[in-house]
Chain A
Amino acid sequence: MIRRWSFVLSVATLLAYLLIPLLINQIFYTHLAILIGIHAILAVSVYLMLKIGQLSLAQAGFMGIGAYASALLTRDVGIPFEAALLLAGVIPALIAGAVGPLLMRTKGVHFVLLTFAFGEVIVLTFVEWTSLFGGNNGISAIPPASILGLQLIAPSSFLILTVIMLSIILLCCHVAFAGDLGVVVEGLERNEPLQSSLGVNALAYRCLIFSGSAFIAGLSGSLYAHYLSFISPEAFGFWTTVNALILNVIGGAQFLMGPFLGALLLAPLPEIFREWVHYQRVLYGVALLLLMRGLPQGFLGLILPRLRWGNNR
């Protein structure tokens, strides 16, 4: 019963999130909503890794790979946006699949440290490989998104695309985790030796999740690139991943809707209080500290029945 209600509530929230900016019909609110969507998608990719009990700090790097891939493929190679969007997910997923078996041998702290270093390496590559990635100047004049020949120049049309992407991603995660995958993943987190003894290839499942999360991060990168039509390396650094992590913690890191709720609450703040950006950093930090102490399940933990806080040992 609770499951069904939370599903209905989730769909209603998503619909409201799409319709309210469309009804207000002011560019500023549409802009906020698009940013929320892009941040939420990245946060979902962090959520997937948290689901297997690992914190990956390379997610913004994967977002960057998706953004650069999508931008360069549409602008310089001239492939259509739909294909570029798909490739923006596939390329980071392949890279994650290639390094996954190496990185995923480690767990916990070592994995965090390695993904941190890996993320830095990705950003460094963007900065240093100037001939391809344009260095610190980044890439500009990225063509706008277009679906089936329809150019999505108006922010409201881009918002629809963003919400559709977010909904598909959330739905896919929901369906995947409701089935066998969810059982296996939960089992891996609770008792990996037992799962392995039952013939589950733990490493393969971990790598699958890692690739999937890179795929999602790449999609958010593509949306980001085509919305702003300009990208530069610093947008994909360590702190972008940390922000996505904060969205999870604040929204509620063990709920699929947690990252979205976190984005809904936090992503608009930097745009609304532009003058106060520095104070906001301090505020973010303090909020994070207080939440870790007082409300480890995030805001969704207040509303929904208390669940096991998976990662606490």
Chain B
Amino acid sequence: MLVQTLVIAATSSAYMMLLALGFTLIFGLMRIVNFAHGEFVMLGAYAVYVLTVVCGLNYFVAIPVAGLFAGLCGVVAERLIFRPFLGDELGAMITSLALAIILQGAVMIIFTVDQLSVPRPISGVLHFGSIYLPNDQLFVAGSSFLVVIAFHFLVHHTRLGLALRAVAQDTEIARAYGMAPSVILPLAFGIGCILAGLAGALTVPLYAVNPFMGEAALLKAFIVVVLGGLGSLPGAMIAAVVLGTTDAVISVWFSATMATLVSFVLVVIILIVKPSGLWGRA
């Protein structure tokens, strides 16, 4: 039971990390609270559905394609929609709500509101002695962690990552050193949306797909990011582990609702003690 709980905790932490890293990256660079973040998760999930069920592509090929598709949509959204609202938090928020509504409506028109499902590409369990571990969950946890490691490498060991961090710290000085925000910001938005799209693509076989799935994802991203500190990447990672673990433990022993309530209370308490979040800048 303990090991199984740990696997669930790892899966849920990894999923939350993917959600929260993209969300917090976008906020950190652009001060945009992206209410459409959950809808990019949904785009990733629907892309996998179209690629595998409709086009008959292999699921493992479909995952990166779905991620890139979500990322591309993100770049387009940043260029077309969010650009005029840089520095206007409330305006950007309402704009992102509008984007979320448009994406939801578009998906409803194309796919109706019905639940769709993607056949599970991985089945079976690994067992060591008396411990049984479901393969599909191990796959989600493993590949999510790989994505997170790749993202970490991108941010900390590449020139693009350096530019991202520079713009997040001080846009003006970064601009003075020759980093064009007009290139960096859409890229960052796209990367954030790739992470969201991958989160959707990886978890499609576990959960069903519907136009309203974005809301739950958004709530998860919110809670993690607020706990970790808005805009803080290490904060998002640590908070994802903390909340993923509490979430899994409480879901297993009590109920999923109890888990959500407890994580909410946790976040409120931490915000009262330290309003900027655990690792946030003031």
Contacts and interface: CB of A to CB of B under 8 A. Distances in A.
Nearest to A289: B98
A281 B106 CA distance: 8
A311 B271 contact: no
Given A116-B222, A242-B97, A285-B98, A292 B109 contact: no
Interface stretch (B63-71, B150-158, B257-265): B257-265
Contact of B90 (A55, A113, A285): A55
Contact of A102 (B33, B102, B105, B272): B272
B93 A289 contact: no
A307 interface: no
A110 B87 contact: no
B275 interface: yes
Interface residues of A, number: 42
Contact of B102 (A127, A246, A285): A285
B264 A245 contact: no
Contacts of A281: 101-102, 104-105, 108
A208 B102 CA distance: 35
Interface in B144-191: none
Contacts, number: 113
Contacts of A249: 94
A273 to B, nearest CB: 13
B82 to A, nearest CB: 10
A13 interface: no
Contacts of B100: 285
Contacts of B226: 110, 113-114, 117
Nearest to A279: B109
Given A114-B268, A282-B106, A289-B95, A109 B89 contact: yes
B275 A110 contact: yes
A53 to B, nearest CB: 8
Task: Summarize A's interface: helix, strand, loop or mixed.
Answer: helix
A262 B81 CA distance: 23
B219 interface: yes
Interface stretch (A31-39, A118-126, A173-181): A118-126
A242 B212 CA distance: 14
Nearest to B81: A289
Given A121-B261, A278-B109, A288-B98, A110 B84 contact: no
Given A116-B219, A289-B95, A292-B94, A108 B89 contact: yes
A312 interface: yes
Contact of B93 (A112, A120, A124, A238): A112
Given A55-B90, A281-B104, A282-B106, A292 B260 contact: no
A110 B91 contact: no
A313 B222 contact: no
B95 A292 contact: yes
Given A102-B272, A109-B33, A128 B222 contact: no
Contacts of A108: 89
B261 A124 contact: yes
Contacts of A121: 260-261, 264
Q: Which 7 A-B pairs have the closest CB atoms?
A: A281-B105, A285-B102, A285-B101, A282-B105, A288-B98, A278-B108, A128-B257
Interface of B: 27, 31, 33, 81, 84-85, 87-91, 93-95, 97-102, 104-106, 108-109, 215, 219, 222-223, 225-226, 230, 255, 257, 260-261, 264, 267-268, 271-272, 275
Given A112-B33, A282-B106, 10 more contacts: A106-B271, A110-B226, A113-B226, A114-B271, A121-B264, A128-B257, A278-B109, A288-B94, A289-B95, A312-B88
